[in-house]
Each structure stands twice: as C-alpha cells, then as structure tokens.
Amino acid sequence: MTTLLWLQSGGCGGCTLSLLGAESPHLWQRLAAAGIELLWHPSLSDGGAQTLPQLLQQLIAGERPLDLLCIEGAVVNGPRGSGRFHLLGGSKRPMRDWIADLAPIAGSVVAIGSCSAFGGIPAAGGNPAEVSGLGWQGEAAGGLLHEGFLSRSGLPVINIAGCPTHPDWISVTLQQLAEGTLTRGDLDSLNRPCSYSDHLVHHGCPRNEYYEYKASALDHAELGCLMENLGCLGTQASADCNLRLWNGTGSCLRGGYACINCTSPGFEAPGHPFLQTAKISGIPVGLPIDMPKAWFVALASLAKAATPRRLSKNARSDHIMIKPERSGE
C-alpha cells in the first residue's frame, strides 16, 4: 500500500474541488486501483484537525511510512520570512516548517496546482505574503526546497501545474508514482508531467478553423479566434485541456473564455489585462510557441487574404450565420 499525505497551504482549495470532479474512474476508485492509502486530506479526512500534528510527528519520526507528499497552495513565508502568516492548526508552528521537515522523508513530493508549483495567484500584486512554490520561485528554480532537491525516489518536486489542475492530471500522476513508472524523463523542463504538458491548449480548440484564417473575434460572445484581440494564449500554453475535456465536456475555450496559460509560472501577472492581447505595432506580442515571428506575420497576411466569407461573417457573430457550402467550382 502506498501512503499519501495531502496538505493545504496558501490557496483557495480549487485543485481539491477539481479533483472531486474526477470521472471514469472517480477519485476513490482510482486511489483503490493504485493501492493508495489516504493518510490525511483537509477536506476528505474525517479526523479532527487536532489529530494532524500527531500524525505528522509520527511520519517525521519514521514511525509510519510517507510515500507521497502532496502540497496544494503556495508556501507562505511572511511576515518577514517567519512563516507565521500560516500556522498549522493545533500546532502553533508555520506550515512551511512542517513541509520542510516532511519533504526529505517522502518518497515523492508533488506540487498540486500552479500556486504550489511556482507561487501562482498568491504571488501576484507584489507578493505581500512572501509566498513561493515548493521547488520554484516564479520562473526560477529554488522555492522552499533548495534548487536540486530530490525526494527519496530520486525525483525533483513534481509540478502538476494548473489553476486549477485537471483531476486526471493529478490522479494519473499519483497512479504512476504508486506503480513506480514515473521517471525523470516523464517530466518537462519545468518538472510538469509530460502526459499533459507535451500538448498545447491550442490542440483540439473548437476555434481552430478561425485561427487558421485569422478570422478574429472582437468580443467574447463571438465565435472567432480569441488570440488576436482577446488575450488567448492557447498556442503557448502547455496543457491538453481541449483534448482531455473537463467533466467530459468543457474547457475554458469551449466556454468562450480565452486561455490565460495557467500552467506556466508568472501567468498571474502578465503585465496587461487577461482578456486583452498585448501588441506592438498591431502584432501580438505572444505568438505561437514554436513559430518565428516573421513567418507568423507572413502567413497571417496570406491567411487573412484567403479567408472565406463564411468565416469572416461567423467570426463576428454569436452564432453561425453562414453554413459551409460548396463553392460551385
């Protein structure tokens, strides 16, 4: 049996809420199938908070094994580096100190969500709570745990980034860890599982035809591509949101909302409104991740010149105005 301890640090609990929406199989089926025993979770465990410090002491003393340590939420280091903005209930001790003691004895350490991975939303606005990720501080390696940290399994902190994370990203990763099949080669350069980070949110986007012809929307109620004007970063965001749908049916883009690249460090402070595309001389600053700017500009000009009237009309409407028909040629 693989033991799992889940602690909540500085965050909203949204990743837990997302995890509870796991389907086919649901959360408890997945844990049982992987042979994972949940020692503690702040929302799912029925023991009172007063029992948690005792459990943590047992784990630190080696009286009970700790295979998987999951931390949800950013590590809170304020005020003035004391960590006392966030004390573990019943212990009068900063949560970050408990995490620092538990991480070296854990088989694997998993950062659940972008807050725990990189600092996320709590790091925005000047970072008044002095938060960090477990193994990263924004885009730089080295958060609470020192740069080069490796757990007992020989893996770095595994960053299941997202705001929130997809339930499958968590459950699949935990199952791989429990089975011993996750290796360093299964993580990308930001230590995110490649099972989802090897894709772009752009893959499977229902607006891809509009993107190809640069038929752009000017309002979120319209059907056109959201990249040119409305802040969509789907061509830069590492995630499979439009392939592995949320609750089996949805994604941000399928709901009409632009991708804000929430799986990446620094997404919380892009330097401009989320739903507005930053431009220089009319050209979006954030271009597709693997396309040279000159190529994009040239291809975009050609695509716009060849845009079918159907797409131009539909892109600026909230419903299909012109249906696909043969040109008659």
Strands annotated E in 79-195:
87-88, 93-94, 108-112, 131-132, 136-137, 140-141, 158-160
Mean pLDDT, residues 93-111 taken together:
98
Reported pTM: 0.93
Q: In this structure, what token pair is assigned to residue 40?
A: 């503690």
User: Helices marked H in 81-124 — which ranges?
Assistant: 95-102, 114-118
Residue 15: partners with Cβ closer than 8 Å, 6 or more residues away:
72, 112, 113, 162, 164, 165, 170
In whole angstroms, how far apart are CA 12 and each of 121, 268, 316? 10, 14, 36
Predicted local confidence at residue 90, as pLDDT: 82
Predicted local confidence at residue 50, as pLDDT: 63
Angle between helices 167-179 and 27-34 (to 10 degrees): 10
Predicted local confidence at residue 24, as pLDDT: 82
Strands annotated E in 101-234:
108-112, 131-132, 136-137, 140-141, 158-160
The three-class DSSP label of residue 198 is coil
pLDDT tens by residue, 142-182: 999 988 999 999 999 999 999 999 999 999 999 999 999 99
The dihedral over CA atoms of 297, 298, 300, 302, expressed in degrees to the nearest 10, equals 160
Domains of the chain: 2-197 (3.40.50.700), 200-317 (4.10.480.10)
The three-class DSSP label of residue 45 is coil
